Amino acid sequence: MKILVPVKRVVDYNVKVRVKPDASDVDLANVKMSMNPFDEIAVEEAVRLKEAGIATEVVAVSAGVANCQETLRTAMAIGADRGILIQTDVELQPLAVAKLLQAVCAKEQPQLVLCGKQAIDDDANQTGQMLAGLMGWPQATFASKLVVAGQQATVTREIDGGLETIEVVLPAVVSTDLRLNEPRYATLPNIMKAKRKPLETTTPAALGVDVAPRLKTLKAAEPPKRTAGIKVADAADLVLKLKTEAKVI
Amino acid sequence: MAILVIAEHDDSSIKAATLNAVTAATKLGGEVHLLVAGSNCAAAAAAAARISGVGKVLLADAPHYADQSPENVAALLVSIAGAYSHLLAAATTRGKNCMPRVAALLDVAQISEISGVESADTFVRPIYAGNVVATVQSADPVKVITVRATAFEAAGEGGSAAIESLPAGPDLGLSRLLGRELTKSERPELTAAKVIVSGGRGMANGENFHRLLEPLADKLGAALGASRAAVDAGFVPNDYQVGQTGKIVAPQLYIAVGISGAIQHLAGMKDSKIIVAINKDAEAPIFQVADYGLVADLFEVLPALQAELG
Ligand SMILES: Cc1cc2nc3c(=O)[nH]c(=O)nc-3n(C[C@H](O)[C@H](O)[C@H](O)COP(=O)(O)OP(=O)(O)OC[C@H]3O[C@@H](n4cnc5c(N)ncnc54)[C@H](O)[C@@H]3O)c2cc1C
Ligand SMILES: Cc1cc2nc3c(=O)[nH]c(=O)nc-3n(C[C@H](O)[C@H](O)[C@H](O)COP(=O)(O)OP(=O)(O)OC[C@H]3O[C@@H](n4cnc5c(N)ncnc54)[C@H](O)[C@@H]3O)c2cc1C
């Protein structure tokens, strides 16, 4: 069984982003970039399925600027077998990414696509569901447990109110939630080994996909900031202030 | 053209977040219809008809909607989308699961978690863990939207919309529900609560949540929340998680106990009206957003607070 893992290069989760002075967009110049944390979880899960003898090959794919190669190398250092870069400088929106992945799926014929539930930059939480829709495949989003057996996957999903377990027929798209696993750290030997793994580069044009953005960002702004309030002395003081000043209890 | 809101329900009543989505829909200019898809869900449709601002309720009642599988619900939505300018759902786990699939099948973008409506094609949405708000415009013929519930008032009661039955769409048979494990609680739902008491890694274990935070929550009529660290450590179930990748909340009062205030946590609660932080580290970032900060050991403060509240 082949597993395809889409990995996105995003602003590192420790970075607090700023808006450009002209308010046109987010300022991403010189900020630290990393693999989307949910995608690390997806790569880890795919590699574990390979180690368990269930998957035969793990292919990482990333769409975006040339530097997404680094993200693919990180995926290969965790254990992906090869990488595919769909190189473009166009701002990619989820529908475009889903169509690119659809084209890659048509070529690669994976039985399972394991992606992140959301990218922590744009927080769209769409790509996996869109891909599943385009392929006519079932989807199991927000997975906290995944069991693959034969032509089926059993997935426990984190939903409002608790957990839900569903069974989907393969091929399918599964998106990862935080508690699916704890990704390993890539070791130095594996980082070195990853440099020699195959990395193929293609383009949206070669895949025949129109990636023109559908949404136009008119403005990006920083939300009104909260300011620190006051320190209270003790529990009694706190209750008094909440009752008489804030009037919330 | 009319606007369609997809109702979230439990077959007999409508979930609170749908009421906020209805309010967002009424800002778009057009008659608002509400879709209730389910199995034996006539009671939910009747409840939907009483929501003020709703012009018509569409009822799709069939066994293959019982699980609310995104595959079947999306197929149904796509078959009726032609009559609508906008399709909206609350940005709950159900809405987030289903709507992107609908958007892709209609070949349009989805606008995720809008927090404001500027016009029929222009919306405001938070990105980068709420550190940036983007104003985006869609040129697509149908706008598929999820709505951040905390950003809109809940629609009231008092409507009397007609209920129209829809023929069911196909049963694609792609997935099957095996079971649900829902957290049972007498407390209000996190996303609808007026007061939330939330615990972090500082709580040290699940027993302390039970022993120290639950009685406080009960005294305040509050819902219980948690940081990711507390959920990961197994102190409380996953659906307690507040934050960028958990639940987004905006209660009147949010009390953060033993939570440091990482940006991912702040993203989920910084729109609360009043924030209280209890933390023994005076430098904890949570104090930068707290209206009232108490630098102290939570194991001493929580019993004292309980006593003060009587
Ligand atoms: C204000 C604003 C500014 C932007 N600025 C830029 C910019 O400067 N440069 C830029 O490149 N984009 C930019 N974008 C586009 C944006 O960052 C996302 O690339 C796009 O909207 C996809 O959304 P998402 O990643 O949140 O999707 P989600 O649906 O949240 O992603 C879920 C999963 O899909 C997969 N996935 C998503 N994208 C990719 C990908 N590219 N390759 C492989 N797998 C993927 C991953 O597994 C990911 O975990 C901007 C968008 C906005 C709104
Ligand atoms: C992709 C991604 C997504 C994430 N999503 C979320 C999310 O949705 N929600 C979320 O919350 N986090 C999220 N996080 C995690 C986030 O970055 C933080 O790690 C997390 O919020 C920390 O939780 P905490 O504040 O409970 O723990 P810590 O940061 O460890 O803080 C514990 C605090 O308790 C205090 N304390 C300890 N003992 C006591 C005592 N006796 N009395 C008083 N105070 C005490 C300490 O001073 C400290 O400030 C995410 C991270 C990533 C990478």
ipTM value, please give it. Answer: 0.91
Of A205, A206, A194, which Cα lies nearest the Cα of A72? A194
Residues 197-236 of A with CB under 8 A from B: 214-223, 226, 228-232, 234-236
> For residue range B213-255, what is the model confidence (pLDDT) as tens digits?
999 999 999 999 999 999 999 999 999 999 999 999 999 999 9
For residues B234 and B240, is the Cβ–Cβ distance under 8 A?
no
Confidence of residue B130 (pLDDT cuts 50, 70, 90): confident
pLDDT higher than threshold 90 for residue A14: no
CB of A247 less than 8 A from some CB of B: no
Show Cβ contacts of residue B28 under 8 Å, excluding neighbours closer than 6 positions. B3, B85, B86, B117, B120
CB of B245 less than 8 A from some CB of A: yes
Confidence of residue A9 (pLDDT cuts 50, 70, 90): very high
pLDDT higher than threshold 80 for residue A218: yes
Mean pLDDT score of chain A, rounded to an integer?
95
Rounded to whole angstroms, how far apart are CA atoms A139 and A148?
Answer: 14
Do β-strands A9-11 and B175-182 pair in parallel, antiparallel, or remain unpaired? unpaired
Read off the tokens for B294. 């108490």
**How far away, in angstroms, is A8 Cα from ligand 1 center?**
7
DSSP code of B281? -
What letter represents residue B50's amino acid? R
Nearest chain A alpha carbon to B252: A248
Owner of token pair 């992107």: B100
Confidence of residue A98 (pLDDT cuts 50, 70, 90): very high
**How far away, in angstroms, is A182 Cα from ligand 2 center?**
17
Within 8 A of A173 by CB-CB distance, chain B residues are none
What letter represents residue A111's amino acid? Q
Neighbours of B206 (CB within 10 A): 15
Name the residue ranges covered by the structural domains of chain A: 2-244
Neighbours of B168 (CB within 10 A): 18
For chain A, the straight-line distance linking the first and the last C-alpha, in angstroms and rounded, comes to 57
Of A182, A149, A185, A187, which Cα lies nearest the Cα of A168? A149
Of B256, B260, B182, which Cα lies nearest the Cα of B216? B256
Read off the tokens for B260. 């440091």
pLDDT higher than threshold 90 for residue A226: no
**How far away, in angstroms, is A165 Cα from ligand 1 center?**
28
Pocket of ligand 1, candidates A8, A175, A215: which has the most ligand atoms within 8 Å of its Cβ, to mutate?
A8
Neighbours of B139 (CB within 10 A): 12
Binding site membership of A120 for ligand 2 (Cβ less than 6 Å): yes
pLDDT higher than threshold 90 for residue B34: yes
Q: Which domains does chain B have, with CATH numbers?
A: 2-165 (3.40.50.620), 190-309 (3.40.50.1220)
pLDDT at B173: 95
* Residue nearest (by alpha carbon) to ligand 1 atom 35: A6
Are B270 and A226 an interchain contact pair (Cβ–Cβ within 8 Å)?
yes
Within 8 A of B179 by CB-CB distance, chain A residues are 164-165
Distance from CA of A201 to the nearest CA of B (A): 25
Q: What is the pTM of this model?
A: 0.89
Owner of token pair 């949010």: B254
Helices (H), chain A: 37-51, 68-78, 94-108, 127-135, 188-194, 204-207, 235-244
For residues B142 and B84, is the Cβ–Cβ distance under 8 A?
yes
Of A199, A186, A234, which Cα lies nearest the Cα of A79? A186
- When mean pLDDT is compared across A18-32, B10-24, B136-150, B266-280, the lowest value belongs to A18-32
For residues B256 and B281, is the Cβ–Cβ distance under 8 A?
no
pLDDT at B144: 98
Nearest-ligand number for the alpha carbon of B227: 2
For chain B, the straight-line distance linking the first and the last C-alpha, in angstroms and rounded, comes to 55
Q: Is it true that the peptide bond before A6 is cis, omega within 30 degrees of 0?
A: no
pLDDT higher than threshold 80 for residue A210: yes
Binding site membership of B243 for ligand 2 (Cβ less than 6 Å): yes
CB of B177 less than 8 A from some CB of A: yes
pLDDT higher than threshold 90 for residue A22: no
Q: Is A244 helix (H, G, I), strand (E, B) or coil?
A: helix
Which CATH superfamily includes the segment(s) A2-244?
HUPs (3.40.50.620)
Rounded to whole angstroms, how far apart are CA atoms A159 and A144?
Answer: 10
Atom of ligand 2 nearest to the CA of A120: 1
Nearest-ligand number for the alpha carbon of B299: 2
DSSP code of B163? E
Do β-strands A33-35 and A9-11 pair in parallel, antiparallel, or remain unpaired? antiparallel
